[in-house]
Structure 1
Amino acid sequence: MLITTLMMAGTTLLAQTPDYTSPDYDAADSWLCRPGREDACTIDLDTTIIEADGSLRVETYRAAEDPGVDCFYVYPTVSNDMTPNSDMVANDEEHRVIAAQFARFGEVCRTYAPMYRQVTLTALRSMMAGQPVTADGVTAYRDVQNAFAHYMEHDNDGRPYVLIGHSQGARMLEQLVARVVDGQAVQTNMLSAMLIGYNVAVPPGEPVGSAFQAVPSCQSADQTGCFISYVSFRSDAPPPDASRFGKLPDPAVEVACTNPADLAGNSDSPLEAYLATGGAFTSSVVAGPWVEGGAEITTDFVRVPGLITGQCLNNEHGSYFAISVHGDPSDPRTDDIVGDVVANGVILADWGLHLLDIGIAQGDLIDLVASQAVAFDQ
């Protein structure tokens, strides 16, 4: 997940493919997750809760038996395929990102996650090194649009739905919302579009405009037909000059930031983070001990109540979700989290906490789906 955005490649470096052929979304292997089967979403998501005093308890994960909401997810740039665009074969990296970012939404919704021929890590690393790139972002988008069309035709049946994407996935869904959902009948049943870890443009101080004309940013937990978006940075390491996230070159717009833990008030709110026990994928450092001298943690995920808060800030640094870690050296629990993007031992400050964008507030995002579902039914 080192290079996880199409902003750098989406409009200038990605060429259209005139002989495009859609994947077969009738085929089971074209989906990482679909309801009613064993797949990437039907996994063990039990989580160890680590209190400040070092005590541990396990939170048992249970998927909803008959949820009334669907969640449609597009994953970020994770493919290690050596080609500029990925194939349609799910490898370990696709399964890992499903576990970290999406499977837990099964608490509140039926889960749909299509494969798509995304721009690979291989291509984006080459681009950052100044090498020629021939990856095709149009193919990636067309795959996502066709997968969504297949879902709407064969699965939706008028049900409320949520769109969830991170980075390249959010870029794909931003285009989908703008072209297919915005102001159309299909917007009626959309609870929200969660476009996380991507610079969604809005007019300064306004909830709608620029990226979308009829889909506003969510202003309360019971609002539907809206979008949620933010880019995460440590509060003591805001977006630097020329940051790839939190800033836009056009002064007439700014990056949208919606606080998933407090949409209406945007207080510096405790976040219900779900963090991978061993660290944030391969592009960050390995997590240290969660509890000094504590028992071994056997679950793949942890929660750390009270340790992390978040608040949207809009200042001279940009518009971003400022993450504060409230470590206490006097207690045995860890005083920090890992998730900064690291290359050759150096933190890439312009990425912020991109690797944690969804995990840092995953519980809050899941709660939002639940509250929006209630509001939709009323």
Structure 2
Amino acid sequence: MKRIYGALLASAMLATACSPSADETADVESAETPPAETEVDADETATAAADSDGGFEVVDYEDAANWLCHPDKANDACDVDLTYTVVNADGTTSVEEVELAENPPIDCFYIYPTVSMDETPNSDMTANDEELRVVEGQLAAFGQECRIFAPLYRQITVPELRRGLGGQGFTADIAMRWSDVTGAWNEYVENYNDGRGVVIVGHSQGSSMVQDLVKKEIVGSDMEDKVISLMPIGMTTHVDAETGNFGPYEPCTTINQTGCIIAYSSYRSTLPPKQGALFGGKSPQGTSALCINPAELSGDDGVLDARLSSGGWYGEGESEFVNGEGVDTPFASVPGLLTAECVDDGSYSYLEITVNGDPSDPRADDIVGDVIGADGVNAGWGLHLVDMHAAMGNLVKILGAQSDAWAAAHPADE
């Protein structure tokens, strides 16, 4: 079987480090798992973070050095080459240039997933290769439609997650993490928003922070009506059982809808989630996890428009896309190879991704995106590593339609 050795982000290193079986791994939303993936009492952590007794230095987000991506930052981590090669099933290829917006009418605020390989429980504020790689693959393409704000934050690290899942306990400072995210958000709101619409994006640990940010800081504030959409991807998201909404935000049902939420966690059609899987499970009240299919919302009839990394495993080696060879661009698109639909099997609600490989054609027949441990694929994680890569083209298309809708409704804000 020909496989595409691409679309991996830095958090793939997390997977190898952890590698417990799905049965051995506690659900990421349970009390036994790291605070990185749980709902934290943000009122308490915000209070602790507000004073020096918190035991840590409060980050100054007026300093552009504390941002990965920021309109005023030199050497912006999102200023990367996004050119991609379209690899068709018959082996023909074409190169597509990506043009970033010069003066987009909306903003994107992004919180990245668990990627830091710092050995400390909380990461430092230095951007290493893993932070740079994750914004390259998960975020930079959004610059086609929005100004990007992506703060560094002292997240719970991969080694800390590994220690916790290994039974050694968690010692990370949750108040520190919350102080950073809210500090960055408040800096954006006070000095850069200026009434503009904003899309709030996260993945994994970042999505859990997005969920808390909305619940604790945004709902009921002046920013509530300025949120164009929420995208807490790769994390279980439960809506209110009565309203069907996440706070005031309805699930997105049309491509140009605003004030709505897009959330999903992806699994292979050949490896659906089973008891103990980490993402997509029901709430304690029996509410299904939210699944919005970006490939349907974008009007693509379930066909995913992926942007797969050509750099292979963490930027090392070369991905094979056609006839056992790679491409010369940073990313590749594989039209028709991946399709998706939302599935609710009664226990899990998730985005089911089908890989439509054909051994008779020259294109690779499969993608990489599974979490691999000592015993092989850890099915409980699903295709967590490529949740966003697999649908990047669809997400950017949706973002563009939402931007147009926002600009039309707020002409004075253009």
Q: Give the TM-score taking structure 2 as reference length.
A: 0.84
The SS at the match of 2:90 is coil
CA distance in 1, matches of 2:212, 2:362: 46
Number of residue pairs aligned between Structure 1 and Structure 2: 371
1:69 and 2:110 equivalent? no
Given that 1:238 and 1:317 are in contact with CA atoms closer than 8 Å, whether structure 2 keeps it comes out as no
1:318 and 2:354 equivalent? no
1:9 and 2:45 equivalent? no
Given that 1:71 and 1:163 are in contact with CA atoms closer than 8 Å, whether structure 2 keeps it comes out as yes
Relative to 1, partners in 2 of residues 1:156 and 1:118: Cα closer, same or farther, differing over 3 Å? Answer: same
| Counterpart for residue 3 of structure 2 | none
CA distance in 1, matches of 2:280, 2:390: 17
Relative to 1, partners in 2 of residues 1:227 and 1:176: Cα closer, same or farther, differing over 3 Å? Answer: same
| Counterpart for residue 157 of structure 1 | 194
1:247 and 2:247 equivalent? no
Amino acid of the residue matched to residue 96 of structure 1? Answer: R
Deviation at 1:286, TM superposition (A): 7.7
1:269 and 2:302 equivalent? yes
Residues 252-295 of structure 1 show CA distances to partners (whole Å, capped at 9, x for unaligned) of 32211111122399x9610111111234648xx9876211155x
Q: In structure 2, which of residues 155, 168, 171 is the aligned counterpart of residue 131 of structure 1? A: 168
| Counterpart for residue 249 of structure 2 | 215
CA distance in 2, matches of 1:146, 1:336: 42
Q: In structure 1, which of residues 327, 331, 338 is the aligned counterpart of residue 368 of structure 2? A: 338
| Counterpart for residue 19 of structure 2 | none
Relative to 1, partners in 2 of residues 1:103 and 1:373: Cα closer, same or farther, differing over 3 Å? Answer: same
Relative to 1, partners in 2 of residues 1:12 and 1:274: Cα closer, same or farther, differing over 3 Å? Answer: closer
Given that 2:83 and 2:98 are in contact with CA atoms closer than 8 Å, whether structure 1 keeps it comes out as yes
Given that 1:13 and 1:135 are in contact with CA atoms closer than 8 Å, whether structure 2 keeps it comes out as no
Given that 2:324 and 2:364 are in contact with CA atoms closer than 8 Å, whether structure 1 keeps it comes out as no
The SS at the match of 2:223 is helix
Q: In structure 2, which of residues 153, 157, 165 is the aligned counterpart of residue 120 of structure 1? A: 157
Deviation at 1:89, TM superposition (A): 0.7
1:173 and 2:210 equivalent? yes
- Segments of structure 1 that go 5 or more residues without pairing to the other structure are none
Deviation at 1:6, TM superposition (A): 6.7
| Counterpart for residue 337 of structure 2 | 307
- Segments of structure 2 that go 5 or more residues without pairing to the other structure are 1-10, 16-26, 49-53, 410-414
| Counterpart for residue 92 of structure 2 | 55
The SS at the match of 1:233 is strand
Amino acid of the residue matched to residue 262 of structure 1? Answer: E
Choose between structure 1 and 2: higher helix proportion.
Answer: 2
Relative to 1, partners in 2 of residues 1:224 and 1:12: Cα closer, same or farther, differing over 3 Å? Answer: closer
Larger RCO (CA within 8 A; separation ≥ 6): 2
| Counterpart for residue 359 of structure 1 | 389
Residues 195-218 of structure 1 show CA distances to partners (whole Å, capped at 9, x for unaligned) of 00001112569631xxx3312221
CA distance in 1, matches of 2:353, 2:131: 27
Relative to 1, partners in 2 of residues 1:281 and 1:250: Cα closer, same or farther, differing over 3 Å? Answer: farther
The SS at the match of 2:187 is helix
Given that 2:298 and 2:394 are in contact with CA atoms closer than 8 Å, whether structure 1 keeps it comes out as no
**Identical amino acids, percent of aligned pairs:** 42
Q: Give the TM-score taking structure 1 as reference length.
A: 0.91
Q: In structure 2, which of residues 62, 68, 74 is the aligned counterpart of residue 32 of structure 1? A: 68
Deviation at 1:155, TM superposition (A): 0.7
Amino acid of the residue matched to residue 157 of structure 1? Answer: D
Relative to 1, partners in 2 of residues 1:6 and 1:151: Cα closer, same or farther, differing over 3 Å? Answer: farther
CA distance in 2, matches of 1:186, 1:254: 28
The SS at the match of 1:255 is coil
Residues 44-88 of structure 1 show CA distances to partners (whole Å, capped at 9, x for unaligned) of 111111011111211112111111111111100100111000011
1:23 and 2:59 equivalent? yes
Deviation at 1:251, TM superposition (A): 4.0
Given that 1:287 and 1:337 are in contact with CA atoms closer than 8 Å, whether structure 2 keeps it comes out as no
Relative to 1, partners in 2 of residues 1:288 and 1:297: Cα closer, same or farther, differing over 3 Å? Answer: closer
CA distance in 2, matches of 1:224, 1:162: 10
CA distance in 2, matches of 1:345, 1:151: 44
The SS at the match of 2:351 is strand
| Counterpart for residue 225 of structure 1 | 259
